Amino acid sequence: MDILLANPRGFCAGVERAIEIVERALALYGAPIYVRHEVVHNRFVVDDLRAKGAVFVEELDEVPDGATVIFSAHGVSQAVRLEAGRRGLRVLDATCPLVTKVHLEVSRMHDAGREVVMIGHRGHPEVEGTMGQSQGGMHLVESVGDVVKLDVKDENALAYVTQTTLSVDDAAAIVEALKRRFPAIVGPKKDDICYATQNRQDAVKQMAGRCDLVIVVGSPNSSNSNRLREVAKNRGVEAYLVDGADEIRPEWLSGKRHVGVTAGASAPEVLVQQVIGRLETLGAGKVLHLDGNPENVVFSLPKELQKADR
């Protein structure tokens, strides 16, 4: 049994930036540093930052007046920003710049007099933050079936945006359904699904044909990690999502010859290496590093943190 290691995998530029913001804020201001929502959706990362002095909260009413609060990589609504300003909180924004791009698109679309449809998963913090960019409200669609149910004011004044971590194939099907029903609908100039989501899904598609099992390293609440598992399953390959090496069951490997391993954009490489170690103890042999799209994206930090040590 051999291991096929997908490339690229693991941390994206937005996740690296968000984690570094928390670490630098702790170094500059000292603990506690409050973080609204998990800064990224990975248990290992969150536990590590918590041990260093980060306090994770779901709402700003859990943050003391005058404290430092970090907005997670998923972004927040305008109402949250206004509340933070009203209360005099020191705000550091770890919103992924590619999510901010979607927020700005929503604002421009509304300024142009268009109703906006968001393609995304209900309840996901990125979706809540993006839909909170407009006081006029937005429509949410999660599937092709939802498109049929849309009730809009003017089908000639419609636009759409997407959550950045969706399945590329699923999102394309929904966009196609929107365009069939509303031929005048307009979208963003550049796709909202981020480069890292696209690259990691492409890597799994390329790897799946060579595997009889795929293991995705990522937490259950990670949207992009779940999409990687779905991509493999949609290619007819048995696939599992694991938070860590200890979740791998020996029976998964019975009769398997080629095990593919990848990781969601919020999962650190240390967890991938632990998974490889676990597979080796269960009989895996050589590790094959597959080729993939190189990534060299780097996002700048907030100015107040650029000179702070981690």
- 126, 142, 155, 280: the active-site residue: 126
User: What is the full DSSP assignment across 215-231?
Assistant: EEE--TT-HHHHHHHHH
Give the span between the Cα atoms of 290 and 303, in whole angstroms: 37
* Two tokens, residue 250: 């020996």
Q: How crowded is residue 59: how many other Cβ atoms within 10 Å of its Cβ?
A: 10
Angle at 172 between CA 166 and CA 177, to 5 degrees: 120
Our measurement of the distance from residue 7's CA atom to the centroid of its chain's CA atoms, rounded to an integer in Å, reads 17
* Two tokens, residue 205: 């598609």
Helices and strands, counts by H and E, the chain: 10, 12
Give the span between the Cα atoms of 231 and 161, in whole angstroms: 22
Q: Can you give the C-alpha Rg of the chain in angstroms?
A: 21
Among the listed residues 56, 62, 134, the one whose alpha carbon sits nearest the alpha carbon of residue 94: 56
* Two tokens, residue 153: 């004011």
- Answer for the pair 249, 275: CB distance below 8 angstroms, yes or no: no
Give the span between the Cα atoms of 234 and 26, in whole angstroms: 42
Among the listed residues 167, 187, 169, the one whose alpha carbon sits nearest the alpha carbon of residue 179: 187
Task: Clarify whether 295 is annotated catalytic.
Answer: no
With tokens 């006081």, the residue in question is 135
- Answer for the pair 25, 19: CB distance below 8 angstroms, yes or no: no
Q: Which residues have C-beta within 8 Å of that of residue 109, sequence separation ≥ 6? A: 116, 159, 161, 186
Positions marked active-site = 126
